[in-house]
Structure 1
Amino acid sequence: MKVLTRFLISAACVAAAGAVYGPVAAAQPAPPPPPPPAPNVNAFPPVSPKDFAIYEGTAYAFSVGDLVCMLQRSGSYGCNGPLPGAPQGANLVSGTMGGVPGFAAAPAPMYTGPVNALPANTRLSYGTVSCGTDGATTSCVDSRNQSGFVVTPTATWVVNEVNPLLARPEGTNPFIN
């Protein structure tokens, strides 16, 4: 009889906990879907970097509308200007070769001199980073780790926010397929 009583009390406690915490668990929003991948900017034909050289050839800059983007020979790259949907009103998205880009609010433009417009359906590349545009969407991707960012007329996002070579699911190896 004691076992039956204990069992019934335990069952009642579990049912009460389910009634109290069940709606809370059910109210949790579903995680947002992952952002779409970046366009394949390397499919676009390259432009000559010398036509976009600034700072005596130590960097390359281009514009797409009000957006100004720069690739530095030191490995940094980014775009500054209107970034629709960027977190906390950010106006700069930038990264370094081998790293993952991030957002920031820059107090001033990253480059104020004149820059050439990047023609639609072309790309500018230096090292492992390529930036390109189809005339509306601008994206930069680092082929070293497949991370980068995308700026569209309605949204801006970072691609592969987690470096796949560093953050591996348990039991996987990036060097063995």
Structure 2
Amino acid sequence: MPLTLRGAATGFYAERMLSRFLIGGVAAVWAISLVPGVAAAAPPPEPVPPPPGPAAPNLNGFKPVTPSTYASKDGTFYMFQAPGGLTCIMRRNEGEYGCSGPMPGAPEGSNVVVGQQVGAPAFNTLNGPKYVGEMPGAVQTLPAGSRITYRNITCGTDGTMTACVNSFDQSGFVVSPAGSFIVNESNPLLDRPKDRNPYFN
């Protein structure tokens, strides 16, 4: 009788061990089978953002001029000459601003750059100067190291470089012998300081 009981106990424990082994093996196979699914469900890596474009020059250090000194066409325009043969304007009614003339390094030989109160400016190519026909007479030169401001737009020159910057969305343009380019050309409203509402200055 003791041998019979011992044999039964041995068989019982052997069955339990076999059951545990089988359950563990099935669980391991099931876990392994999930790995490809987990890998497939993982989101693809985010694309690397493009490098930021050229920054806007700081015109705040330039000496401000009185805008009315450069008024033209019954005060609806502010117009000035800038280095390199540029003629630049600010339209008071429409909010347009821009320059016309030689623009070294501008795309496709552009000779005009124009912006508005919202959004980045753009280069363009015209057969002739854009603003010369709108000038009723001689246009004053904006002195080196000075700036003129109307609403959100500030234009200034250091005597070589000429730039206009829109404080609303930090866009603008630069024209210089070293090259001409748009500032914050792509979606400038996203390039704001942290916690800064792009619709308020």
For the aligned pair, the TM-score class normalised by the smaller chain equals 0.7 to 0.9
In structure 2, which of residues 69, 81, 90 is the aligned counterpart of residue 71 of structure 1? 90
CA–CA separation in structure 1 for the residues paired with 2:126 and 2:119: 20
More helix by share: 2
The 5 Å alignment of 1:1-177 reads 34-65=52-83, 66-73=85-92, 74-112=94-132, 113=135, 114-165=138-189, 175=197
**Structure 2 counterpart of 1:45, one-letter code:** K
Q: How much does 1:173 deviate?
A: 7.4
Quick check: 2:120–2:188 contact (8 Å CA) kept in 1?
A: no
Q: Aligned partners of 1:154, 1:34: CA distance in 2, in Å?
A: 19
Q: Which amino acid aligns with 1:93?
A: V
- Is this contact kept in 2: 1:35–1:157, CA < 8 A? no
Question: Quick check: 2:62–2:146 contact (8 Å CA) kept in 1?
Answer: yes
Structure 2 spans left out of the alignment, 5+ residues = 1-49
**Identity level (%):** 49
Q: Flag structure 1 segments of 5+ consecutive residues without an equivalent.
A: 1-31
**Displacement of 1:124 after TM fit?**
0.8
Alpha carbons of 1:119 and 1:167: their partners in 2 closer, same or farther (altered >3 Å)? Answer: closer
3-state SS of paired residue (1:42): coil
2:187 alignment partner, SS class: coil
Question: What amino acid is aligned across from residue 188 of structure 2 in structure 1?
Answer: P
The root-mean-square deviation of aligned C-alpha atoms, in Å, is 2.4
Larger Rg: 2
> TM-score, normalized by length of structure 1?
0.73
